[in-house]
Structure 1
Amino acid sequence: MLEVKKISGGYANIPVLKDVSFQVGDGELVGLIGLNGAGKSTTIKEIIGLLTPYQGEIFIDGETPRGQSEAYRKKIGFIPETPSLYEELTLKEHLEVVALAYDLEWELAFGEAEKLLKIFRLEEKLDWFPVHFSKGMKQKVMIVCALMVNPSLLIVDEPFLGLDPVAIKDLIDLINQQRSKGTSILMSTHVLDSAEKMCDRFVILHHGQVLADGTIEQLRKEFGQERASLNDIYLTLTQQEVD
């Protein structure tokens, strides 16, 4: 379980988040939704430890990044919006680095990775360097690296960018498999039609604060739109911003 409790934070002298609180339960997929600049990326950076909150606490399965940083970080699998690979390392060497970072036994870790490589049709490219990969292939490598560690918390940031329709379906199937295993999943995306179908619940950020937190039915009630889609609610927020 992920618990974010009254987080305020941001960058040096640039506060972004204000008293943000929400939870992601075991086996739950929560969509992190908001306009550009709402604080989604900052929230993710606070959770994975790239930023330290000004105040508040973050817990994963009861552990915090303060004083338990190694155990805390090993619980996280992260699929970033933009793939980030080491140009001098082959695909196999990337997997080895992940196994070392998470203190995983190589044979078991590679066995897990192999299943994922086959799904994304990368099993014959272990000796390839990133320069030979398309953007979509790089994104698939990031997905494999995140899932091979069997995380307690999976964070996916705009996961569908650069993926072809077959890979999108494969990723959705894998996310659902993670849910069935009890993994907590936080997904930030602007593909709202897909998010509405996939997510159990939504956290809507606005100007660094939680504007709403609930299921699609609860959000419809919150915004007074009985049959609204998630996209309709998002557009309502956009219009408020323009006004």
Structure 2
Amino acid sequence: MEGPLLDVRLEKAGYEEREGVVRNVAFTVRAGELVGLIGPNGAGKSTTIKAILGLLKRTEGEVRFCGPGGTYAYIPEHPILYEELTLWEHVELAAASYGLTGERFEERAERLLARFKLGDVRHHLTTSFSKGMQQKVMLVLGFLTKPDVYIVDEPFIGLDPKATKELLDALNEERSRGAGILMSTHVLDTAERICDSFVLLDGGAVVAQGDLDRIRETCGMPDASLFDCFHALT
């Protein structure tokens, strides 16, 4: 089996006022794999993601992006946008940051705007958008760069059913291309359907991980849904 695109070995991660929020969290994300990071509120999912992104000073352990380009895209739960920029200016800024230019950039951007039904508002300020539209902007910016690894935090919040389907289709296309995906989500029925494996956190520690059969084995419920396993283990 090929090596991982993302290798996470966190001995401890936390904050100045709360050290060791997560402890001994270890997992990998491989090419074409979608790993679900799940757990109740306060389980340590956000801290784990921040540690992976290098945003926490109080982190012990190692995080390695091992893909051909060592690249990743982060799609946050809450949109992070500039008030004074239009949608297209956000797209141009993201493209410039990653060295995307010319026809390659234009074609990719146009395809993503059409996919998420944002083409008609490309020259509008994103502050005028609904929360769902702003979330779709973050999806466009994330998919624009075609990285080795996607880190996606609660992507379904605020999306209507059509946008959710387009997101799932886009994720599948990226997996087919060979990208790896780490996705934090509370939408367990969708996670059960689309994820290859899971990392289940509770109290800052891994209480189960692996594919659904392994999760079922851990909680001793051979025919249970991910939802039922989640509630049995947390």
TM-score (norm 1): 0.90
The one of 195, 206, 209 aligned to 1:210: 206
Query: Whole-Å Cα distance in 2 between the matches of residues 96 and 123 of structure 1?
Result: 14
Q: 1:31 Cα deviation (Å)?
A: 0.3
Q: 1:58 Cα deviation (Å)?
A: 0.4
1:34 aligns with 2:30: no
The one of 224, 228, 231 aligned to 2:220: 224
Q: Is the partner of 2:157 in helix, strand or coil? A: coil
Query: Whole-Å Cα distance in 2 between the matches of residues 76 and 208 of structure 1?
Result: 24
1:197 aligns with 2:202: no
Alpha-carbon deviations, 1:169-205, whole Å to 9, x = none?
1101111111101111001000000000000000011
Q: 1:47 Cα deviation (Å)?
A: 1.3
Paired AA for residue 184 in structure 1: G
Paired AA for residue 8 in structure 1: K
Q: 1:104 Cα deviation (Å)?
A: 2.2
Q: 1:62 Cα deviation (Å)?
A: 6.3
1:82 aligns with 2:53: no
Deviates more, 1:100-109 or 1:85-94: 100-109
Q: How many residues align?
A: 229
Q: Is the partner of 2:120 in helix, strand or coil? A: coil
1:117 aligns with 2:113: yes
The one of 130, 148, 152 aligned to 1:152: 148
Counterpart in the other structure of 1:9: 13
Q: Is the partner of 1:54 in helix, strand or coil? A: strand
Any conservation in 1 of the 2:6–2:29 contact (CA below 8 Å)?
A: yes
Any conservation in 2 of the 1:95–1:110 contact (CA below 8 Å)?
A: no
Any conservation in 2 of the 1:6–1:21 contact (CA below 8 Å)?
A: yes
Q: Is the partner of 2:37 in helix, strand or coil? A: strand
Any conservation in 2 of the 1:31–1:199 contact (CA below 8 Å)?
A: yes
Query: Whole-Å Cα distance in 2 between the matches of residues 12 and 53 of structure 1?
Result: 7
Q: Is the partner of 1:21 in helix, strand or coil? A: strand
Alpha-carbon deviations, 1:16-66, whole Å to 9, x = none?
111211001111000001111111001111112222453111011169xxx
Query: Whole-Å Cα distance in 1 between the matches of residues 59 and 53 of structure 2?
Result: 15
Query: Whole-Å Cα distance in 1 between the matches of residues 95 and 58 of structure 2?
Result: 28
Counterpart in the other structure of 2:65: 60
Counterpart in the other structure of 1:131: 127
Paired AA for residue 59 in structure 1: R
Alpha-carbon deviations, 1:208-239, whole Å to 9, x = none?
1111110001110111001110000111134x
Any conservation in 1 of the 2:199–2:209 contact (CA below 8 Å)?
A: yes
1:151/1:53 Cα in 2 relative to 1: closer, same or farther (>3 Å)? farther
Deviates more, 1:144-153 or 1:94-103: 94-103
Q: 1:105 Cα deviation (Å)?
A: 2.1
Counterpart in the other structure of 1:101: 97
Counterpart in the other structure of 2:49: 44
Alpha-carbon deviations, 1:116-173, whole Å to 9, x = none?
1001111121110012211111011000000000011101111111011011011011
Query: Whole-Å Cα distance in 1 between the matches of residues 46 and 211 of structure 2?
Result: 22
Counterpart in the other structure of 2:180: 184
The one of 73, 88, 94 aligned to 1:92: 88
